[in-house]
Structure 1
């Protein structure tokens, strides 16, 4: 295979992973077929198996990419807006479905799969990376006296978003998100006092 053919194959593979990531976040893994992904990438279904052994292998790569993208957004956000609760406020903003949090988007698929599922490791690493970024933005570290509170806040943020997406009661969902946002600001101030 010539140099340009190899480069084109790598570009095609990257495009397939990017489209899969977008579609999985938008619709959920189970609702997206290989033909949907390949059509979105502008390729034929027959070309899929030149790049991936199975859809599950693609799910792993798309999951990893989704978490990488989210981590980059969170890192940029914290450098642009280092104030308390910036991630939480950003997290609760409305956004297009294809930008759904990967924790929420991939959880149903990964949690229903067996422990040897190819995406489990990518999912776990991705959640850990987001949690680490969240803890650093909230102002806690491994040596902080209250990292457990920040971990609970991370779980509350994700849980509140899940409930908001699933609820028909917009007022309740907004109140829940506002409560988590207030708690994030309090958590940051409490940790600042502890480290002072």
Structure 2
């Protein structure tokens, strides 16, 4: 069997990171390297040619997931002509939707990876990347009036959104799940209208 070209190796790496990002959000970071590589359509042996360790991949996949969230925010700003409040409202509505609740693999890494990151040692790259991503998200959610004031209202919004999403996922299939999403949307709508 011939050697893989550099371009193919880069494509394989990108595919593993993308697959890991989705699977970690959907199933947790405990998924085995063998299962992850199988899902990416690659051999288990190829993993260590691309990554120093599974921990290194967790950090890279976490960064990749937060980059997707940043693109979503930027797309919202563009869609709403730079009007931050309108873009925030659209993101809050999408975040607290049944579609987002039912699609953790494509959803917010802050919610999907919270339990896994709580178990990560503080000195791990994944934990650092996750913490930065959460902080950036909270800062973006802050109203322009409070931006720079430690982002307290951004943190409050993020906690409300993230907590509601986690609880809605945990109670999915019951009427309570939809009620949780609706209550959080209403609370944040009132908050935003008062801002």
Return the TM-score normalized by structure 2.
Answer: 0.83
Query: Residue 106 in 1 paired to residue 110 in 2?
Result: no
CA distance 1:125–1:150, change in 2 (3 Å) = closer
Q: CA deviation at 1:141?
A: 4.2
CA distance 1:164–1:39, change in 2 (3 Å) = same
Map 1:28-177 to 2 at 5 A: 28-30=28-30, 32-81=31-80, 82=83, 83=86, 85-93=89-97, 94-95=99-100, 96-135=103-142, 138-143=143-148, 147-167=151-171, 170-177=174-181
Q: CA deviation at 1:169?
A: 6.9
What secondary structure is seen at the aligned counterpart in 2 of 1:180? Answer: helix
CA distance in 2, matches of 1:37, 1:87: 30
Higher relative contact order (CA 8 A, sep 6+): 1
Root mean square deviation, CA, Å? 2.3
CA distance 1:174–1:39, change in 2 (3 Å) = same
Segment drifting more, 117-126 vs 79-88 = 79-88
What secondary structure is seen at the aligned counterpart in 2 of 1:85? Answer: helix
- Show structure 1 runs of 4+ deviating over 4 A: 138-141
What secondary structure is seen at the aligned counterpart in 1 of 2:113? Answer: helix
Number of matched pairs: 184
CA distance in 2, matches of 1:168, 1:91: 15
Q: CA deviation at 1:76?
A: 1.4
Q: CA deviation at 1:187?
A: 2.3
1:75-129 per-position Cα deviation (integer Å, ceiling 9, x unaligned)? 2134325526222110022243311320122212211121122211110111122
Matched-pair contact (CA < 8 Å) for 1:35–1:45: yes
Q: CA deviation at 1:188?
A: 2.2
Structure 2: state its 5+ residue gaps.
Answer: none
Matched-pair contact (CA < 8 Å) for 1:78–1:87: no
